[in-house]
């Protein structure tokens, strides 16, 4: 995993867009974004580590999804646009990368700057409920992820707007980030 501020150039969403300004894992944590690296090896030990994280964080369900032009076919372009449009969820978004690579962009609070997180095989990322974010494959055009869920598998996006800004999950997220920031000061 490597995190950095997005260069804000509006162009190919699969390009790196690295501004040259790094973001630390601690800074991500202050925004509620959690990260683990669990090497995916043939010995299966990674599965035990994923199971341990799932037990600790009460993730009850999981599935595996592949994203690429080859696997999504005609729905690829629409899907790529949909997940790249700025949105939030009322649940955590938990992704463990089994192969391939891509980007999660999260909005930093209170600056509203985009932080780009480049993830690849072995990276486990937890994007908190209520944070504005988006996703894109990188130029490799392939990612296989295990999605983990606290309850039944679902993916319901609330696209950014006045109504979503008032969503209780968004309000809770902002309170938590402000509390963490105040404690760190």
Residues comprising the binding site? 87, 89, 93, 133
Report the binding-site residues for Fe(2+). Answer: 87, 89, 93, 133
- The residue ranges of DSSP E strands in 23-181, in sequence order, are 34-37, 61-67, 87-88, 93-107, 114-120, 123-127, 133-137, 143-149, 158-159
Task: Please state the residue numbers annotated as binding site for Ni(2+).
Answer: 87, 89, 93, 133
Q: Which residues contact 111 (CB under 8 A, 6 or more apart)?
A: none
> Residue 70: which of 138, 141, 137, 15 has the closest Cα?
141
Nearest of 103, 104, 81, 95 to residue 159 by alpha carbon: 81
Q: Which residues of 141-150 are buried (b: 16+ CB within 10 A; e: fewer)?
A: bbbbbbbbbe
């Amino acid at each position: 995993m490597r995190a950095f501020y997005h260069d804000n150039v509006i162009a190919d969403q699969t390009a790196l867009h690295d501004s040259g300004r790094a973001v630390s894992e601690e800074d991500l944590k202050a925004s509620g974004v959690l990260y683990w690296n669990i090497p995916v090896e043939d010995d299966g030990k990674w599965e035990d580590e994923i199971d341990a994280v799932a037990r600790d964080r009460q993730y009850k369900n999981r599935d595996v999804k592949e994203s690429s032009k080859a696997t999504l076919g005609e729905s690829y372009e629409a899907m790529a646009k949909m997940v790249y449009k700025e949105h939030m969820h009322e649940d955590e978004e938990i992704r463990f990368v089994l192969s391939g690579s891509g980007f999660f962009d999260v909005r930093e609070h209170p600056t509203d700057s985009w932080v780009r997180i480049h993830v690849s095989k072995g990276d486990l990322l937890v994007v908190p409920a209520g944070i504005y974010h988006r996703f894109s494959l990188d130029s490799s055009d392939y990612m296989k992820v295990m999605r983990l869920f606290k309850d039944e598998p679902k993916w319901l996006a609330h696209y950014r707007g006045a109504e979503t800004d008032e969503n209780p999950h968004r309000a809770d997220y902002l309170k938590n980030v402000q509390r963490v920031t105040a404690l760190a000061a």
